[in-house]
């Protein structure tokens, strides 16, 4: 497993071809403030180790970049596959914390004192504090769980896919990471 400095270096190199250094630094600062590079991707499933949220998000971004090339997907801004992939699960930065007074850096648990609820919506809110998002990016992050959402929202999800087909590929990229790559 990479240590945190390696993860950050990896992050910079990964984003380097996609956007100017100024934008990379802005995202890096926002993510460091959320302790993104250390957080786990879950508490009880796969990805429960320190740094796994970054590993998972990186894989989703890579899958989106790959799907974009192979399927010739069009995005409202060229760096969207990177931005959506890396930021889609930001809610987890707030939802998983070290237990107070616990000195074990590998021990994470649910935060029982969150103010914001939701998954995709919450990730959108947190991402918007780091950088402005396009409407397409907002839709992709909001609906990255696909139909794994309340049944009452299925119409909205379907409408999101119709207006922004990349919503469907974002969900696919997330499933490839979690269910096929096991990350």
The bridge status of strand 109-110 relative to strand 96-97 is antiparallel
Give the nearest distance from C-beta 58 to Fe ion in angstroms.
Answer: 11
Nearer to Fe ion, 90 or 104 (CB): 90
3-state helix, strand, coil in the chain (%, to 5): 55, 0, 40
Query: Does residue 137 touch Fe ion according to CB under 5 A?
Result: no
Nearer to Fe ion, 18 or 175 (CB): 175
- Judged by CB under 5 A, which stretch of 98-106, 108-116, 160-168, 170-178 contacts Fe ion? 170-178
Query: Does residue 55 touch Fe ion according to CB under 5 A?
Result: no
CA–CA gap between residue 62 and residue 182 (Å, rounded): 14
Give the nearest distance from C-beta 60 to Fe ion in angstroms.
Answer: 6
Nearer to Fe ion, 20 or 169 (CB): 169
CB-based contact 83:137 (threshold 8 Å): yes
CB-based contact 145:177 (threshold 8 Å): no
CA–CA gap between residue 18 and residue 83 (Å, rounded): 10
Query: Does residue 174 touch Fe ion according to CB under 5 A?
Result: yes
CA–CA gap between residue 36 and residue 29 (Å, rounded): 10
- Judged by CB under 5 A, which stretch of 29-37, 82-90, 98-106, 165-173 contacts Fe ion? 82-90
Query: Does residue 94 touch Fe ion according to CB under 5 A?
Result: no
Q: Summarize as ranges the residues that interact with Fe ion (CB under 5 A).
A: 89, 174
């Amino acid at each position: 497993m990479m240590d945190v400095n390696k993860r950050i270096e990896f992050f910079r190199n990964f984003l380097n071809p996609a956007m100017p250094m100024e934008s990379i630094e802005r995202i890096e600062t926002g993510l460091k403030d959320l302790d993104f590079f250390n957080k786990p991707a879950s508490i009880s499933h796969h990805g429960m180790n320190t740094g796994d949220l970054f590993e998972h998000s990186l894989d989703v971004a890579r899958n989106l970049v790959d799907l974009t090339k192979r399927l010739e997907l069009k995005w409202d801004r060229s760096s969207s596959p990177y931005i959506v992939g890396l930021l889609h699960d930001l809610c987890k930065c707030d939802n998983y914390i070290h237990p107070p007074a616990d000195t074990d850096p590998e021990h994470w648990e649910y935060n029982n004192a969150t103010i914001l609820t939701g998954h995709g919506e919450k990730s959108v809110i947190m991402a918007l504090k780091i950088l402005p998002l396009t409407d397409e990016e907002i839709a992709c992050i909001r609906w990255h769980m696909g139909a794994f959402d309340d049944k009452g929202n299925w119409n909205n999800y379907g409408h999101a896919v119709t207006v922004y087909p990349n919503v469907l590929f974002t969900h696919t990229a997330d499933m490839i990471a979690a269910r096929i790559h096991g990350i």
